[in-house]
A = this chain, B = another copy of it.
Amino acid sequence: MRGTGKGRIFIVGTGPGSIGHITPYAMKALRESDVIAGYGTYLDLIRELIKDKEVVSTGMTRETERCRRAVELAATGRTVSVVSGGDPGIYAMAGLVLEIVKKQSEDSRTDIHIEVVPGISALNACASRLGAPLMHDFASISLSDRLTPWELIEKRLDAAAAADFAIVLYNPKSRGRTRQINRAVEIISRHRLPETPVGIVKGAMRENEKIIITDLGNMLEHDIDMQTTVIIGNSNTFSWNSLMITPRGYESKYSI
């Protein structure tokens, strides 16, 4: 994507968690890399592909340190892949790496070739497992208030629900963050009926995959955690035969 120096960084999405959903282009980037940087769990999936590579791996919370190290290595002329599960461009590593490159190039005029290689994100993967919940306009909202004021998240939930967007909830709940999902359901319920279909997908396309179709009134009875993505239908979404379907238009303007 620019850069005349020898060093290269690929920011690579490995998709939902099965080798069959990693694009050939992402595979190529990994193969061409001298160094692979990533969080342990994501690297496990591609262990076989990267067995002859140098690996920079740290825990989930030390991602800034890991990305900084990746950029430093690229600045020495090496080819480095920073690996994200899903799509690096959606709530993942692309932004952080670019911010670090920006800072380092201001400090030291580093000149690195950077390329973001997209992957199948959780929203694409989970939607596919549920049927067709995202056929119409949708909003994607993370319930993590670690780096975002909770008031803004509430405002977004309310706005998205009021304007009849289908809603994808990322990071719905973690061990230390349990109330947010309850509050989200409360806010969305101001604008949407308890019967509104809701899909809950845990570990999409992994061995432990679990898919639940429920509704807004009952969704909190189900198991939701950090590995879960939740999709809430719009006012036209219906469920049929364990599938969740959002029609592609309103007003029955089309006949099937």
Contacts and interface: CB of A to CB of B under 8 A. Distances in A.
B249 A146 contact: yes
A175 interface: no
Interface string A29-63: 00000000000000000000000000000000000
Given A19-B24, A94-B128, A156 B137 contact: yes
Interface stretch (A84-92, A176-184, A216-224): A84-92
B248 A147 contact: yes
Interface of A: 1-2, 13, 15, 18-25, 28, 64, 68, 87-92, 94-96, 98-100, 102-103, 105, 116-121, 124-125, 127-129, 131-142, 146-149, 152-153, 155-156, 158-160, 162-165, 240-243, 245-251, 253-256
Nearest to A71: B256
Contacts of A90: 124, 127, 134-135
A165 B138 CA distance: 11
A165 B160 CA distance: 10
